[in-house]
Amino acid sequence: MTEKKLLFPIVNTDVALFTLIDQQLRVLLIQRANKPDPGGWALPGGIIKPEIDKSLEDAALRMLAAKALLRLPHLQQVATHSGPDRDPRGWSVSTLFFSLLPSDQVPAVAASKTEAIAWVDPERPGHRLGFDHGQMLAEALHALRDKVERGALPLHLLPARFTLTEVQRACEAILGRVIDKGAFRRQLKSARDLVKVPGAFVRGAQRPAQMYRASAGFVF
Amino acid sequence: MTEKKLLFPIVNTDVALFTLIDQQLRVLLIQRANKPDPGGWALPGGIIKPEIDKSLEDAALRMLAAKALLRLPHLQQVATHSGPDRDPRGWSVSTLFFSLLPSDQVPAVAASKTEAIAWVDPERPGHRLGFDHGQMLAEALHALRDKVERGALPLHLLPARFTLTEVQRACEAILGRVIDKGAFRRQLKSARDLVKVPGAFVRGAQRPAQMYRASAGFVF
DNA sequence: TCTTCTTAGTGACATACTACCACTAAGGTG
DNA sequence: CACCTTAGTGGTAGTATGTCACTAAGAAGA
């Protein structure tokens, strides 16, 4: 570390963007093109621009929008990391968010000319993560699991219409364990988060499955 | 807002410091002496100093230490607020923490020459709070309640040795409702957070009460 | 046409947990 | 020594949850 530390802290955001691919939980990593640690893999994020961002959330959404995600259905703060050494450019503050991307919108996330992307298993990212992003990813996953464990339904991972079994599979992918169908559906009924879509069924080589959508006042 | 906005965001911390006074939950407010909003009441906090602080937590502890609190037993992040207008000095980022002060250390917190202090009911602060500190206080209280509701024991609010009834009163003060003694003590037993202090009893006009202390590996 | 297979969807039971309440224990007080 | 107060324990009932069995409704194939 030979370069001079900045006088003001660097303020940036990072997002753990989760989705489902083949009913498996995946998180978005990007391969850095720019100054610190070029070629390294990291959570998407970057330095905020006070002249255009109205908040940290705003900044995080702006940076993801640059990666072809116009509207994210959800963004939740996890924690803020800080310190003089976690970013080689100097004293930095980084607010971590997690977000859920509907599985049918995965193709909308594309690699740019300069940055490669990868959807990886959040428990075994494979790529060595730069900065303290390994720890951050673990925290984001923990926050997501905790929320689902407490009964929140990760409907934002699914298309606008879905079956109850799809909701169950999404929860199982997040929690990493199988859930009993009967008990799970009991919970779904007691919560008021789901509404039947009349006449909409998924057909296959079995009994058709009723489709549902998130109720009006649903918040994850 | 006529003054020019700063180019870099202001980074500061705020702490909702809770304690028990007469078995009631109280939070520390200070009366601002300095530049923005002099005379207004706010949560203790301030701008970090990258040259001496090693993290946001470090900065928060340093500012509280200046108010005669050398060692705080606990500090937990709640959320980070941000935006161009929440602080009149310009675009700012503020990380909110909450902390618990043992009730027997309340006298150690003293007003300085320039700043008055007040211990107020977090649900009805009485004083109008500046910035967005009203909202922040509500969030900190919610985070504390949520944690206790999920079974965490607020032992840091109590002296090093305490009775089971004192633990129950502390939880009741936080949650704002009475708790059944039988059910509460069952929970205490199943958790492994408490250890009897042999031979230590509190005597009064009734059966003596066994004293306990936090177990070795206890974390709030 | 009818059998079989697969997943949707419901219900029944045992267990675990918890709210509510009653009871005994062990001091002090008058 | 009767009585008051709080400490501490245990029991019961109602609720929530895990486990599992069963029926429902289509497609596929003999």
Statement: the CB of B203 is under 7 Å from strand C:
yes
Of A73 and A160, the structure prediction assigns the larger pLDDT to A160
Averaged pLDDT for residues A43-70: 91
Write out the two tokens for A187.
């919970």
Q: What is the DSSP secondary structure assignment for residue B22, as one 8-state letter?
A: T
The residues close to strand D, meaning Cβ under 7 A, are: A 180-183, 186-187, 190, 203-208; B 163-165, 181-183, 185, 204-210
Express each pLDDT in A124-151 by its tens digit: 998 889 889 999 999 999 999 999 999 9
Lowest mean per-residue pLDDT among A47-51, A173-177, B124-128, B184-188:
B124-128
Say if the Cβ atoms of A50 and B79 lie within 8 Å.
no
Please list every residue in chain A whose beta carbon sits closer than 8 Å to the beta carbon of residue B50.
5-9, 84, 90-91
Express each pLDDT in B62-104 by its tens digit: 999 987 676 888 999 999 999 999 999 999 999 999 999 999 9
A95 CB near a chain B CB, below 8 Å? yes
Contact by Cβ (8 Å): A185, A209: no
**Which residues touch A109 (CB under 8 Å, ≥6 apart)?**
A28, A67, A68, A69, A101, A117
Helix A164-175, helix A133-149: angle, nearest 10:
140
Confidence of residue B6 (pLDDT cuts 50, 70, 90): low
B48 CB near a chain A CB, below 8 Å? yes
Which pLDDT value is given to residue A6?
A: 60
Confidence of residue B126 (pLDDT cuts 50, 70, 90): confident
Backbone angles phi, psi at B109, to 5 degrees: -90, 115
> How do the domains of chain A map onto residue ranges?
10-149, 155-214
- For residues B64 and B19, give the distance between their C-alpha atoms in angstroms, rounded to a whole number: 14
Please list every residue in chain B whose beta carbon sits closer than 8 Å to the beta carbon of residue A50.
5-9, 84, 90-91
Averaged pLDDT for residues B167-194: 97
Q: Which residues pair with B17 in a beta bridge?
A: B99
- For residues B102 and A15, give the distance between their C-alpha atoms in angstroms, rounded to a whole number: 37
> Measured CA to C1', what is the nucleotide nearest A205?
D27
Instruction: Write the single-letter amino acid at A96.
Output: L
CATH class of A155-214: mainly alpha
Residue A42 CB burial class (10 angstroms; 0-12, 13-18, ≥19): buried
Which pLDDT value is given to residue A188?
A: 96
Strand, coil or helix: B216: coil
Tally the residues of chain B: 220
Which of A87-97 are b and which e, b meaning 16 or more Cβ less than 10 Å from the residue's Cβ? beebbbbbbbb
Give the residue from B163, B169, B179, B170 showing the smallest Cα distance to B220.
B170
Q: Examine domains A10-149 and A155-214 and report if their fold is the same.
A: no
Averaged pLDDT for residues B32-46: 84
Contact by Cβ (8 Å): A38, A118: no
Q: What is the DSSP secondary structure assignment for residue A138, as one 8-state letter?
A: H
> Which bases of chain D are contacted by protein, using any atom under 7 A from a CB?
4-11, 17-21, 24-28
Report the protein residue whose CA lies nearest the C1' of nucleotide C10.
Answer: A182
Which pLDDT value is given to residue A5?
A: 54
Task: Round the average pLDDT of chain A to a whole number and report it.
Answer: 92
Residue A112 CA distance to nucleotide D14 C1' (Å): 59
Among A4, A77, A80, most B C-beta atoms within 10 A, so best to mutate, is: A80
Which pLDDT value is given to residue B5?
A: 53
Give the residue from B137, B100, B132 showing the smallest Cα distance to B120.
B137
The pLDDT > 90 percentage for chain B reads 79
Q: Is the pLDDT of residue A63 over 80?
A: yes
Annotation: CATH topology of B10-149: Nucleoside Triphosphate Pyrophosphohydrolase (3.90.79)
Statement: the CB of A216 is under 7 Å from strand C:
no
- For residues A72 and A148, give the distance between their C-alpha atoms in angstroms, rounded to a whole number: 19
Express each pLDDT in A16-25 by its tens digit: 999 999 999 9
